[in-house]
Homo-oligomer: A and B are copies of this chain.
Amino acid sequence: MTRYLTLAACQLGPTSRTASRRDTVDRLIYLLERAATGGADLAVFPELALTPFFPRWDIEEGAELLSFYEASMPGPETTRLYQAAAKLKIGFSIGYAELVRDGDRIRRYNTADLVGRDGRCIGRYRKIHLPGGDEPTPATTVTLERRYFEPGDLGFGVFDFAGVRVGMAICNDRRWPETYRMLCLNGAEVVLIGYNTPSSLDEAPEMDHLREFHSHLSMQAGAYGNTLWIAAAAKAGMEEGQMQIGGSCIIAPTGEIATKATSIEDEVVLYRSNLDLIATCRKVNFNFANYRRPDQYRLIAERAGPI
């Protein structure tokens, strides 16, 4: 019998700097309800879905910055989302800023959790490819992710979601082919991706018209070359003066975009995904064990950049 999983990409429009967690969680629950109504088994929310994309701001350490992090997931303000999911019997992944107290040290990560249909966390991923820097660079669109987060330390994990092997990646991770390959080698069938991607970059405005093309190109090639289903959700639209691309989508292991958001607002797109298509795609070109040549790829795991 053919295996299907109905995926939902829950795109979010902008979130203001002063939005309450309560209002944001209301939006998430509404999207989750729409996804469940459409028959979705598993939904993906964007990166940093509970807050605006605060790494675009140079914020001093203090109360405001701290307010963007979650000290526990679920926490007092997010429990309702997990309860709604359990009631709707829908799984989801959600991106958020994670704060961990490690003895005297505080550790912070750009994180996504995978939550089962019973509302319980079954997997965690911490963003491995952090873009930007820890200080603003002149004439460059600000992304202070390297100040606000440590690099992910949990590897490219793959988790069992109702018999389907699911992995996660976050935003910039999707531009690196190693992300998909590592998830593939760890057995992923489905990859959930959340992102915040500015429509324009001060360092290369001549490439602004390619921003959504690059987002899709990376994910389509990742899906095709690794025989994966991908569901990807953007935080889109004009958020506090910065326009972000939408383009939330579900991509088949053929590399085809099966469905795509057409707004830059809160929007759900769904697709009933045939998991058996993965086996067909592997039959055509990608019998990995037979054809990959890991002995020839040594440098990939040894050298960061060209010499």
Contact = CB atoms under 8 A, between A and B. Distances in A.
A285 to B, nearest CB: 6
A256 interface: yes
Contact of A185 (B151, B185, B300): B300
Contact of A299 (B129, B182, B296): B182
Given A129-B291, A203-B283, A284-B201, A214 B218 contact: no
Interface in A121-156: 128-131, 151, 155-156
Contact of A283 (B185, B204, B303): B204
**Dominant secondary structure of chain A at its interface with chain B:** helix
Contacts of A287: 305
Q: How many of these chains are in the complex?
A: 2
A204 to B, nearest CB: 5
Interface in A103-124: none
B255 A306 contact: no
A288 B305 contact: yes
A207 B306 contact: no
Interface string A280-307: 1101111111111111111111111111
Interface stretch (A5-13, A55-63, A84-92, A220-228): A220-228
Given A206-B280, A217-B220, 12 more contacts: A128-B293, A131-B285, A175-B286, A177-B221, A182-B300, A184-B306, A185-B303, A186-B306, A217-B255, A292-B305, A294-B303, A300-B300
Interface of A: 128-131, 151, 155-156, 172, 175-178, 180-182, 184-187, 201, 203-204, 206-207, 210, 213-214, 217-218, 220-222, 224-225, 254-256, 280-281, 283-307
